[in-house]
Amino acid sequence: MSVIPDPRDPHGVRYPLAALLTVAVCAVLAGATSFAAIADWLYDLDEADQQRLGFTRGVPAGTTVWRLLIRLDATVISKVLAGWLRTRTQPVTARPRRYRTVIAVDGKTLRGARLPDGRQTHLLSALDTSTGIVLAQVTVDTKSNEIPAFAPLLDAVEAVLGSLTDVLFVADALHTQTGHAEQITGRGAHLLLQAKGNQPTLFAQLKAVPWAQIPVGDRTRDRGHGRKETRTIKAVTLHTPGGIAFSHAQQAVRITRTRTTGGKTSRETAYLITSLPAADAQPADLQKWARAEWLIENQVHNVRDVTFREDLHQARTGTGPAIMATLRNTAIGWHRIHGEPNIARATRRADRRSHDLITAVTSTYPRTQ
């Protein structure tokens, strides 16, 4: 906690920063959805648990908690909490031969956090798909879009991991940018990006590859919720670097999804490029990694909306929206690394067992990664 700048005047500080941030983390782990709910959770604890959290001189008013949290540096808080979660993960003893860390990048608009001029807060996040931990989150300038925020996000991820060597980034077509490719590969990392209309030349070149002559590399079939889906992937090495209008592209990829729902069949084709050569990325790998892009939407953003009612939360002052989003990311990551598939149920259980929750959060764990 000492690395987090305290925005308060040191004279007259009554409640330790570490205690206030710890109670915010614990409360959101237990399902708190707002700053007011964080304060309520603290008030409802017995005196012994309040003291264990560091409140030895009474508890602060809800406005005191709110005033501090909305003044904290959201980027620093995201880094500190992501690093803290990583110390709690169990080491993976056995990994597939071509295992690599896959990080999914995606943005989310906080619909309830409208600024005075009517614009909404937008955040860009990076998820470690193997652990469920959001490694970094940056606020997108309200006068801009996600593209300029990509480099700061990479910086934040690198600060948490220490190195991006051999890490694979997956993202939607918005981030299929030559500049992004240079930033990623320049740090020793790799990319798997989809091409759409925002890169018309690249899209046309990928579509023109003689796919009919390329054998199917991998096929998967899924069934559930009244739907059948078949995903077929083909991949080909790009022998002529100048043949595809995108730097560092080693393979061209085509994924065809065929869905049958209620007797109706639809087909969708996606074209992607990757900086990984075939020796390091076989079609089955690419199939799995491409699907990882959806994990940040399904396992993080959707949970923040449904379980934590994020889009209904109207925090808009200072860094409040980003801080609350980071606390929600932390809660989701905590429950994921503890094997909880249902985050809503996990928060309810944590709320019923607040004493055990405080013990778990405040205990010292050896670093395992």
Per-residue confidence (pLDDT) for residue 98, from 0 to 100? 67
- What letter does residue 219 receive in the DSSP assignment? E
Per-residue confidence (pLDDT) for residue 48, from 0 to 100? 94
- What letter does residue 84 receive in the DSSP assignment? H
Determine contact, residues 136/160, Cβ cutoff 8 Å.
yes
Does a structural domain hold residue 243? yes
Which residues constitute the domain of residue 267? 190-287
Instruction: Give burial (CB, 10 Å; 0-12/13-18/19+) of 37.
Output: middle
Instruction: Give burial (CB, 10 Å; 0-12/13-18/19+) of 62.
Output: middle
- CA-CA distance, 273 to 236, in Å (whole number)? 10
Does a structural domain hold residue 320? no
- What letter does residue 311 receive in the DSSP assignment? G
Does a structural domain hold residue 106? no
Determine contact, residues 228/259, Cβ cutoff 8 Å.
yes
Average confidence (pLDDT) per 10 residues, the chain, 369 residues: 82 89 97 95 95 91 93 95 92 69 93 69 94 94 83 96 95 92 95 91 91 93 84 87 76 93 88 94 93 92 94 81 96 96 96 95 65
Per-residue confidence (pLDDT) for residue 363, from 0 to 100? 87
For 34, the 3-state DSSP assignment is coil
Does a structural domain hold residue 302? no
How many Cα atoms are found within 13 Å in the side-chain-facing hemisphere of 75? Answer: 13
Does a structural domain hold residue 60? no
Determine contact, residues 147/167, Cβ cutoff 8 Å.
no
Q: Concatenated DSSP letters for 254-300?
A: EEEEEEEETTEEEEEEEEEEESS-TTT--HHHHHHHHHHTTHIIIII
The pLDDT tens digits for 323-369 are: 999 999 999 999 999 999 999 999 999 999 999 999 999 987 554 44
Does a structural domain hold residue 46? no
CA distances from residue 124 to 101, 162, 170, 268 in whole angstroms, order as listed: 19, 20, 13, 27
CB atoms inside a 10 Å sphere around CB 245: 16
Q: How many domains does the chain have?
A: 1
For the entire predicted model, the pTM comes to 0.91
Does a structural domain hold residue 123? no
Across the chain, the runs of DSSP E, i.e. the strands, are 102-114, 120-128, 133-140, 168-171, 190-195, 218-224, 227-237, 251-261, 264-274
**What is the residue type of 138?**
V
Determine contact, residues 40/329, Cβ cutoff 8 Å.
no
Does a structural domain hold residue 122? no
